[in-house]
Amino acid sequence: MDVIKDFIYVNKHSFKKASVGLSKNYLIILTGIAYSLISLLAFNILGIAFAGPLSIIRGFILYFIQSTIISNYLYLLFNIVNYNRFTLNDFKQGFMYFIWKVYGVLFIIYVAQLLLSALNSFFGPNASLINFIIQIGILVLLNPLPETIYLKGYMPQDTLLYTFDFMKENWLNWVVPNIIFYLIIYFISGQLITDLFATGISFRFNYSPVYILRYLLAQTIFSFMMIYRGYLYRLLSTSTMRKRMFMNRY
User: How high does pLDDT run on average in the chain?
Assistant: 89
The counts of H helices and E strands in the chain are 11, 0
Q: Do residues 230 and 77 lie in contact, with contact meaning Cβ atoms separated by under 8 Å?
A: yes
Give yes or no for residue 30 having a pLDDT over 70: yes
In whole angstroms, give the CA distance from residue 149 to residue 199: 14
Q: What is the reported pLDDT for 1?
A: 58
Among 137, 138, 162, which residue's Cα sits nearest to residue 148?
162
Q: What is the reported pLDDT for 123?
A: 67
Tell me the C-alpha to C-alpha distance, in Å, between residue 238 and each of 9, 34, 227: 15, 33, 17
- Please tell me the total count of domains within the chain: 1
In whole angstroms, give the CA distance from residue 51 to residue 89: 35
Report which of residues 58 and 222 the model is more confident about. Answer: 222
Q: Which ranges constitute the DSSP H helices of 119-208?
A: 120-123, 127-141, 145-151, 156-189
Element at 101 (helix H, strand E): helix 99-118
Q: Do residues 144 and 171 lie in contact, with contact meaning Cβ atoms separated by under 8 Å?
A: no
Which residues form the domain of 49?
A: 2-249
In whole angstroms, give the CA distance from residue 72 to residue 161: 23
Q: What is the reported pLDDT for 73?
A: 97
Average pLDDT for residues 200-205, to the nearest whole number?
83
Give, as one character, the DSSP assignment of residue 124: G
Give yes or no for residue 112 having a pLDDT over 90: no
Average pLDDT for residues 122-134, to the nearest whole number?
72
Q: What is the reported pLDDT for 51?
A: 74
In whole angstroms, give the CA distance from residue 144 to residue 92: 25
Give yes or no for residue 143 having a pLDDT over 80: yes
Q: Do residues 74 and 150 lie in contact, with contact meaning Cβ atoms separated by under 8 Å?
A: yes
Average pLDDT for residues 21-37, to the nearest whole number?
93
What is the chain's length? 250
Kindly indicate the confidence band of residue 91, based on its pLDDT and cuts at 50, 70 and 90.
very high
Give, as one character, the DSSP assignment of residue 155: -
Q: What is the reported pLDDT for 35?
A: 92
Kindly indicate the confidence band of residue 221, based on its pLDDT and cuts at 50, 70 and 90.
very high
Q: What is the pTM of this model?
A: 0.91
Kindly indicate the confidence band of residue 243, based on its pLDDT and cuts at 50, 70 and 90.
confident
CA 192 to chain centre: 13
Percent of the chain past pLDDT 90, that is, above it, reads: 59
Q: What is the reported pLDDT for 237?
A: 96
Name which of 5-14, 109-118, 147-156, 218-227 the model is least confident about: 109-118
Residue 43's φ and ψ, nearest 5 degrees, are: -65, -45
Kindly indicate the confidence band of residue 15, based on its pLDDT and cuts at 50, 70 and 90.
very high
Q: What is the reported pLDDT for 98?
A: 95
Q: How many CB atoms lie within 10 A of CB 192?
A: 10
